[in-house]
Amino acid sequence: GPYEQNCLVNAMCLGIAPKERLIRSAAAGVGNHLVLMGARTGRDGIGGASVLASAELGDDDADKRPTVQIGDPFEEKKVMEACLELLDRDLLASLQDLGAAGLSSSSSEMASGGKVGLDIDVAKVPLREEGMEPFEIMVSESQERMLAVVEPERLEEVRAVCERWEVRCTVIGAVTDTRRLRVFEGEELVGDMPVEALVDDCPLYDLAPQRPEAQIYPAPPRVLEPSDDLATNLLALLGCANIASRRPLFEQYDAIVQSRTVRRPEVADAAVLALAHDTGGGPTAIAVAIDGNGRRVACDPYWGTAEAVLECASNLACVGAEPLGLTNCLNFGNPERPHIAWQLTRSVEGMADALAALGVPVVGGNVSLYNQSGDGPIYPTPVVGMVGALPDAAAAAEVGIAFRAGDTVAMVGTPDPSLAGSELAKLRGEELPTELAEIDIAAVGRTQEAVRDAVRAGELRTAHDMAEGGLMTAIAECCLAGGVGATIEFPADAPPAYADVERFLFGEGVGGFVVAGPREAIDRLAERVPTDVLGVAGGDELTVAAGGASFGAVPLAAMRDANAALATAFA
């Protein structure tokens, strides 16, 4: 696949803090100390994230590949606890983490935000290796380090807190009024430049986007022959890499640490966390969802990215949450190549337009570019993470993706499913299309709002968005989560051929939901948005019919075995 030579992991970290405890990263107060806290600085990570975001490395470039940063989780924990105590005691004027490009980027960002200058003496930076040059110290990406601005009268208190947590605390410079970043090695000035040159006036890529005349990605290998058998297609989808249960992965980690987890993995479409602190009458819980589908974006960067944004919002709606903000990671190939530049440009436009239509702000993001090898570029893969608010955590605790016997099953919304670019098409080795259908974002938003309101009102017991694998896969996942089957009959005036309904069964799009609950609740939902009653949950198999014609039955046990395909890989 397109990721085999470029294995990527995107992780989203979410923190919860009272507003009054927030601290800015902008440096302030001429004469204040610049304090480096945490681990010693080494050569690990020199040019790491900054090189990975700005260079293409081939098989012959081993000497150019960046050193991997050396992580120390225990040191990180100590630094975190020390910083939290310093913030609780209001001892810091500003605080910034050290990420890509190390001291050079963090210091210049702090200076730019505060419209001040900084003087740094690299000779005072605690080092882990001998003979490091000043530029190495400035760009090292050694982990577990924080940069703070401290008022002189509070320096000793800061040192005492750090000493108690066994965290190094070193004054390496001072805030100035020069608007320049000056780097010293002892008494010798080794670097001097305007802060704006590093932040606001830094060089920009002059991209030359060009839409390719044809699909640039090859067809995937065929692993499933075309078939008119419902069970064959459904079981293959339930076991494919993008749909199979992730239980072998997430069960390796504690999903309820801190005792604030309301909805755990695979129980609902989004994780739900209770807010333990007093919210002053605000939301009592938050929901978190992450989405991305590089294959769909490879078909159409604009609408594929819009799909990812809308699916993320749909996931939140399924637990009753209203989106608050979005962050992202843009994983792409070499943007200096016109076709990749076009992918990146259209993807960003699709994300911006979808979010503008939903009224959701982007609060942050980063990029991972130049992900190419001799086999070509990765799929354009924007991964989006969204956080939503719930007024009442109790409502989310009562809804999930599980069917309950006797509940009425319905499809909500007006998705326009297509087999082109779908998971089923991938299994069949079909070529990727070069465009996806346009999306009525306003209609999707109305459907999300209706589902969200129904969940908050406690009227639905099941809410699951239709995504990879389409409608039938969503229904099957609800059956698996609830341990019950379902009897489904699609509206049809006459018995159709299987080929006529396959797009409806397994086609993919955005804006559709599978819901279940009491019949009267489904009827009330139908008064607001298009809703099709499909059947009832119960039994030990999933049976499907349309217009009186049966398309077969799939035993619950067979679906469970297929969906556990990843378990053997991690056995």
* pLDDT tens digits, one per residue of 342-362: 999 999 999 999 999 999 999
Please indicate whether residue 55 or residue 472 has the higher confidence score (pLDDT). 472
Q: Is the pLDDT of residue 68 over 70?
A: no
Give the span between the Cα atoms of 102 and 44, in whole angstroms: 11
Q: Does the structural domain 31-198 have CATH classification 3.40.1010.20?
A: no
The SS3 assignment for 302 reads helix
Q: Return the structure tokens found at 512.
A: 């559709």
Instruction: Single out the residue of 323, 327, 325, 330 nearest to residue 304, CA to CA.
Output: 330
Contacts of 267 (CB under 8 A, 6+ apart): 400, 401, 402, 481
Q: What percent of the chain has pLDDT over 70?
A: 94
Cα 55 to Cα 81, 334, 563: the distances in Å are 36, 8, 39
pLDDT at 201: 86
Give the span between the Cα atoms of 46 and 125, in whole angstroms: 15
Exposure on the CB side of residue 289, measured as CA atoms within 13 A: 30
Cα of 431 vs its chain's centroid, Å: 27
Q: Tell me the pLDDT band of 47, cut-offs 50, 70 and 90.
A: low
Please indicate whether residue 65 or residue 379 has the higher confidence score (pLDDT). 379
The answer to whether 387 touches 520, Cβ cutoff 8 Å, is no
Average pLDDT over residues 75-93: 96
Q: Return the structure tokens found at 171.
A: 């004054």
Please indicate whether residue 255 or residue 452 has the higher confidence score (pLDDT). 452
pLDDT at 394: 84
pLDDT in tens, 472-500: 999 999 999 999 999 999 877 777 888 88
pLDDT at 249: 87
Average pLDDT over residues 38-63: 63
pLDDT at 110: 97
The answer to whether 91 touches 158, Cβ cutoff 8 Å, is yes
pLDDT at 64: 44
pLDDT in tens, 528-565: 999 999 999 999 999 999 888 899 999 999 999 999 99
Please indicate whether residue 208 or residue 55 has the higher confidence score (pLDDT). 208
Buried b (16+ CB within 10 A) or exposed e, 6-32: beeebeeeeeeeeeeeebebbbbbeeb
pLDDT at 75: 95
Q: Is the pLDDT of residue 62 over 50?
A: no
Note if the pTM is more than 0.75. Answer: yes
Average pLDDT over residues 92-108: 94
pLDDT at 283: 74
Q: Is the pLDDT of residue 413 over 80?
A: yes
pLDDT at 275: 87
Which helix (H) or strand (E) segment holds residue 195: the answer is helix 195-198
Q: Return the structure tokens found at 325.
A: 């903000």
The answer to whether 82 touches 163, Cβ cutoff 8 Å, is no
Give the span between the Cα atoms of 224 and 424, in whole angstroms: 8
Give the span between the Cα atoms of 12 and 181, in whole angstroms: 31
Average pLDDT over residues 419-441: 96
Domain coordinates of the chain in residue numbers? 31-198, 230-569
Pick the CATH number of 230-569 from 3.30.1330.10, 3.30.70.260, 3.90.1300.10, 3.40.50.150: 3.30.1330.10
- Report the amino acid identity of residue 349: E
What is the CB neighbour count within 10 angstroms for residue 298? 23
Average pLDDT value over all residues in the chain: 92
Average pLDDT over residues 20-34: 92
Q: Are strands 486-490 and 541-546 parallel, antiparallel or unpaired?
A: parallel
The answer to whether 360 touches 354, Cβ cutoff 8 Å, is no
Q: Is the pLDDT of residue 57 over 80?
A: no
Q: Return the structure tokens found at 384.
A: 């989006």
- Report the amino acid identity of residue 359: G
Helix intervals (H) in 323-440: 338-358, 393-397, 423-427
Q: Any idea which residue has 């968005």 for tokens?
A: 465
Cα of 326 vs its chain's centroid, Å: 9
| 279-283, 443-447, 492-496: least confidently modelled range | 279-283
pLDDT at 282: 67
The SS3 assignment for 464 reads strand
- Report the amino acid identity of residue 529: V
Q: Is the pLDDT of residue 263 over 70?
A: yes
The answer to whether 127 touches 40, Cβ cutoff 8 Å, is yes
Gyration radius of the chain over CA positions: 27
Q: Which long-range contacts (CB under 8 A, 24 or more apart) does 418-421 make?
A: 418/503, 418/507, 418/508, 418/509, 419/502, 419/503, 419/506, 419/507, 419/508, 420/299, 421/295, 421/296, 421/298, 421/299, 421/508
pLDDT at 137: 96
pLDDT at 49: 54
pLDDT in tens, 225-240: 999 999 999 999 999 9
For the chain, report the end-to-end CA distance as a whole number of angstroms: 23
Which residues sit opposite 194 in a β-bridge?
180
What is the CB neighbour count within 10 angstroms for residue 172? 22
Phi first, then psi, for residue 228 (nearest 5°) are -95, 10
pLDDT at 105: 93
Helix axes 230-239, 470-482, angle to 10 degrees: 70
Q: What percent of the chain has pLDDT over 90?
A: 79
pLDDT in tens, 170-198: 999 999 999 999 999 999 999 999 999 99
- Report the amino acid identity of residue 225: E
pLDDT in tens, 359-372: 999 999 999 999 99
Q: Is the pLDDT of residue 379 over 60?
A: yes
| 63-67, 71-75, 212-216, 246-250: least confidently modelled range | 63-67
Q: Is the pLDDT of residue 65 over 70?
A: no
Helix axes 230-239, 498-506, angle to 10 degrees: 20
Which residues sit opposite 493 in a β-bridge?
none
Q: Return the structure tokens found at 6.
A: 């470029």
Q: Return the structure tokens found at 11.
A: 């992780």
* Rounded (5°) CA angle 551-552-556: 135
pLDDT at 41: 94
Please indicate whether residue 510 or residue 571 has the higher confidence score (pLDDT). 510
What is the CB neighbour count within 10 angstroms for residue 58? 10
Which residues sit opposite 149 in a β-bridge?
34, 94
Q: Tell me the pLDDT band of 279, cut-offs 50, 70 and 90.
A: low
